[in-house]
Amino acid sequence: MRINILKCLDHGQLADMIYISNTGEISKRRVKVLSVDDTTFKAYCFLRNTKRTFKIENVLAFVPVVKRERDVI
């Protein structure tokens, strides 16, 4: 998972993420990764419209958003 997060950071890509909170609440979010540490990453969360810190271990799915067909290749 960490590798996918780092790739989005390097390419400046947005990503769709499914995340489970410490209380067990599951949410789908669109994020822009700002920085990555060993166990967490900071991202702008479009669901909450603010910068947030996420635990990498709580990320259930992380998929880059493809804006154009050439980004797929």
DSSP string, 11-64: HT-EEEEEEE-TTS-EEEEEEEEEEE-SSEEEEEETTTTEEEEEEGGGEEEEEE
The one-letter code for the residue type at 45 is: C
The 10s digit of each residue's pLDDT in 10-62 is 999 999 999 999 999 999 999 999 999 999 999 999 999 999 999 999 999 99
Tokens of 63: 């998929």
Rounded alpha-carbon distances, angstroms, from residue 50 to 7, 67, 72, 73:
21, 22, 28, 31
Q: Is the pTM of this model over 0.75?
A: yes
Write the CATH number of the domain with boundaries 2-67.
Answer: 2.30.30.100
Q: Pick the residue with more confidence: 68 or 38? A: 38
The pLDDT of residue 72? 56
